[in-house]
A and B are shown apart, each in its own frame.
Chain A
Amino acid sequence: MIRRHPQIDSEGRLRHLLSIDGLPKAMIERVLDTASAFLDVSGRTVKKLPLLRGRSVFNLFFENSTRTRTTFEIAAQRLSADVFNLNISASSASKGESLLDTIDNLAAMNADLFIVRHAQSGAPFLIAQHLDERGKDVHVVNAGDGRHEHPTQALLDAYTIRHFKKDFTRLRVALVGDILHSRVARSNIHVLTTLGVPEVRAIGPATLLPAGLEAMGLQVFHDIRRGLEGVDVIIMLRLQNERMRGALLPSAQEYFKHYGLTADKLAYAAPDAIVMHPGPMNRGVEIDSAVADGPQAVILSQVTFGIAVRMAVLGMIAA
């Protein structure tokens, strides 16, 4: 059956933020513009705006993450919302309660917004559709679902790129590393191609690159030096230790030797290329400390911008 994307309501407004895939360019640009205004607020001594005063924001993290949860918490608090953190993996799920039962219970507590992190791709879609079918006026923001998407990360990455590079339509961007398991990579691919980046490259060993990347508009490279040649933006992806167990890679050492970003590999990129990483970094696995702490790294700017971008998203959806 043909249905509209569940994150857009029948009036064409953004009701939930579930994926960058299917998010119109104009909406992405509005998030970036709004974030720009909020960035000034973050720099003031009094950092609060009353936009979400009296609203209840629930952080539902079915999968652990301190960093993303904290940045959402800060963003919601700066908009004056009441924030509740639920570590679901430690409570109801372990008692056998089903996902949708948990959601129904929390919705009954008059929540206004759920920020959802889940290990299964598509889980926020299920939750949003369930709430809509039940007529519950609760908004859902995807804070990372399985290997699928991490929309706010991609929006803050886009913000960072726009901040440093201004014009998307003249850029070469490289995504390096474990694209197969990366929701950050997928969201970034959509955000970059939607914003008009003419050349997006994927760099990694064949075991970490999913099939059909070309169909998503990417050029695939296995040799990092060739892949980095002339790029303006490098987005490094986190490599998780468990990848060494599933016969995807022989060892972290061998991975670092061939795909870890070191100063000599970085020299293949454009001289003013910026280096980004969604964090947390594995120094000595995907990135060398000399690069992570070097002048081209903008990793800490990403974190600062992340708060403003998340404020923009929460404001657009729930205000």
Chain B
Amino acid sequence: MRISIINARICQPTLSARDQPVEAGADGLVAADIHVADGRIVAIVRSGAGAHPGDALPADWVADRRYDARGWVVAPGLIDLAARLREPGFEYRATLESEMQAAMVGGVTGLVCPPDTDPPLDEPGLVEMLKHRARGLACARLYPLGALTVGLQGEVLTEMAELAEAGCIGFSQANVHLADTQVLLRALQYAKTFGFAIWLSPQDGFLARGGVMHAGALASRMGLPGIPVIAETVALQTMLELVRVTGARVHFGRLSSGAGVALMRAAKAEGLAVTCDVAVHHLHVIDQDIGWFDANHRVNPPFRSQRDRDAIRAGLADGTIDAICSDHTPVDDDAKALPYGEAEPGTTGLEVLLPLVLKWARETSTPLPAALAKVTAAPAAILGAERLLGSGAGQLALGAVADLVVFDPDACWTVSRDTLVSQGRHTPFLGYELQGRVQATFVAGLPNFERR
């Protein structure tokens, strides 16, 4: 199959402000046609101010299809470092079908799935089954994280090498606290032996126990038990110390506090092999937004103070925070229609990831190539996508796999229960008008989603 995407403005993600493509206009975009054959990008022909004499179509190019992207932006497909698809075990909350479709509508072509399914992803058979089901749907690429310990119980290590062979790209405890530091130490040592990456969410289970929102003046006022910032920093300090000792490669998921960002900044300055991400909703929402006990605001880690949000934004700007994920966690209506403290944490995220990244970019004047890098090139590097997909994964480059998103950067739409495809209909952004809408999503060069 040969497809030509014509009249597009392309966005080449840049990992730092310095390597912005010289031909790009003020908006960071270049007018170009992209030509795809057999799932890979075979030509990028730039035009207008960014025209390049070396760009050329392959000899005797005949496209099977021409996709006109006039007025729209073409970028690498989004790679989401934390998306719960709820299979196996929680099919009443969401299914692989519904969430894969939501990913396509959101322009997400790669999904890293935490292992907190039921049963947890602690056996190769489960991972193979999940990958098999995902392949059958021919939608987004699935990158499962294996459970770090059997049943996520924090006691016995899983068969990491077997799980890696079955397709796990790393190992994680999801949001389950691993209280036993000796087990964590050994898990890191063992992972280091084989060169596996460990993905950890830093939250001390004892300090967070019983908490349902950010421990601050507002939690005190509302009489809701708080999750203090020290739950994050105490866990992070411990984990960083274990990284120092073992030299294991660790990715920290979903930082929520300014103090946590500061610890990461120091760790990177020290030269530790660590990376981290934040959930996209933490770039926008703070504890004060909770309203009258709105359970749509119950997430884990909790929305923190405005200062924390500002620190997260600063961490993204200076590169301390590598990537942005959706932390997509579909929750069924019954589990949310409860008093705030009993409602289940979680928000749907796949379909709002791109517009919320664009909103943050606009508000902070972050150039589009640098902003989109946080959801494309950077997560691709963290999960080791080049090892799986060849060079150029997560980027727009000749020879790179043609996982692409086409979006209208100006189109506005209102988030509502009716406009969401995901089975999870709960998000703090219900009723919000967001700017930026996906028009088409290509995976391996095939249009898996086109808006009509």
The residues of A with any CB-CB pair to B shorter than 8 Å are: 1, 3, 5-6, 21, 98-100, 118, 120-123, 125-126, 129-130, 145-149, 183, 186, 210-213, 215-216
Contact = CB atoms under 8 A, between A and B. Distances in A.
Chain B interface SS verdict (over half): loop
A149 B223 contact: yes
Nearest to A182: B223
Given A126-B339, A146-B341, A211-B215, A121 B291 contact: no
A122 B338 CA distance: 10
A145 B340 CA distance: 12
10 contacts: A120-B341, A121-B222, A121-B223, A122-B224, A126-B295, A147-B224, A186-B223, A210-B219, A210-B226, A211-B219
Contact of B291 (A3, A183, A212): A3
Interface residues of B, number: 26
Given A126-B293, A186-B221, A121 B339 contact: yes
A123 B292 CA distance: 10
Contact of A118 (B224, B225, B291, B339): B339
A1 B223 contact: no
Contacts of B293: 121-122, 125-126
A210 B292 contact: no
A122 B342 CA distance: 10
A82 B56 CA distance: 86
A21 B224 contact: no
Given A120-B342, A126-B293, A210 B337 contact: no
Contact of A121 (B334, B337, B340, B430): B340
Contacts of B215: 211
A212 B217 contact: yes
Interface of B: 215-226, 291-293, 295, 334, 337-342, 430-432
A122 B337 contact: no
A281 B223 CA distance: 22
Among B215, B217, B223, B342: residue with most chain A CB under 10 A: B223
Nearest to A129: B292
B291 A1 contact: yes
Contacts of B295: 126
Among A3, A21, A125: residue with most chain B CB under 10 A: A125
Nearest to B338: A99
Among B221, B225, B337: residue with most chain A CB under 10 A: B221
Contacts of B337: 98, 100, 126, 130
A5 to B, nearest CB: 7
A216 B217 contact: yes
A118 B432 CA distance: 32
B223 A123 contact: no
Contacts of A126: 293, 295, 337-340
A212 B219 CA distance: 9
Contacts of B221: 21, 186, 212, 215-216
B291 A122 contact: no
A120 B222 CA distance: 11
A122 B295 CA distance: 10
